Amino acid sequence: MELAEIMSKLREKYHSIDAKSGELFLLAVLFEEVGELAEVVRKRDVEGIEEELTDVLFMTLSLANLFGLDVEKRLVEKYLERDPSSDWDLPS
């Protein structure tokens, strides 16, 4: 299944709830999920990492749907067609 199709199905299922909740609530939930992800990464809990990454992705896609964004297109443009890694401040 393509990302656009997943987003469409998520929009059908959750958009009315997300719209009622609002962007600040969704953002707060995303922050909470990122915190939970940080904890399982610290513990190196692979099953937990998979679970929390799924939650982070869901909240990210929910926010994208709320704002009507095409993150699939932008992801391809930014990270596949270009390579921003030269701008990253990585340790030598």
Residues 58/65, Cβ–Cβ less than 8 Å: no
What's the CA gap between 71 and 82, in Å, rounded? Answer: 15
- Average pLDDT, stretch 62-79? 96
- The answer to whether the Cα torsion of 19, 23, 28, 33 is positive or negative is positive
> In this model, does residue 21 exceed pLDDT 80?
yes
The residue among 14 and 92 whose pLDDT is bigger is 14
Q: Report the pLDDT value the prediction gives residue 90, as an integer from 0 to 100.
A: 84
Q: Is the pTM of this model over 0.95?
A: no
Listed residue (21, 58, 53, 60) closest to 37, CA to CA: 53
Read off the tokens for 29.
């939930």
Domains of the chain, first to last: 3-83 (1.10.287.1080)
Q: Report the pLDDT value the prediction gives residue 85, as an integer from 0 to 100.
A: 87
Q: What secondary structure does DSSP assign to 28-41, as a single string?
A: HHHHHHHHHHHHHH
